[in-house]
Structure 1
């Protein structure tokens, strides 16, 4: 079982073997969730693959051309002035 010490600032260094098994790298985020069945907290990587985001934005009903997008951006920019 891996162990770590909490600093006076509440920080913990995750042991290298735990980081490796979770696939964590510097800058990654983790989530803590309480498992009521066991009474323990679980640590999970809070990273998502690009593929997991598929379908999060609905396709427009009609296709929009680059020209239409540029026109809409220009119009909104003119209104902001």
Structure 2
């Protein structure tokens, strides 16, 4: 997918507006990205492609202050902790 695909993911599923002691881990970013992709009927790219796309946008997957937001966040959280349902 193009950089626009990753731009859209960042715009729709990530935020810096919340206070957080730690950002999202690479695994959390990929899980959120997978949820976002499925909700938007896209085939998810590989973790390596997501990493490259985020780095191209100036986001370090290993060191960030990002939080989840939007429908993909809810989907990811519920999929990660089915006991909450």
For this structure pair, what is the TM-score category when the shorter chain's length is used for normalisation?
Answer: under 0.3
TM-score (norm: length of structure 1): 0.25
Which structure is larger by alpha-carbon Rg, 1 or 2? 1
The structure with more helix, counted as a fraction of residues: 2
Structure 2 length as normaliser, TM-score? 0.24
RCO (CA 8 Å, sep 6+): is it higher in 1 or 2? Answer: 2
Structure number with higher strand proportion: 1
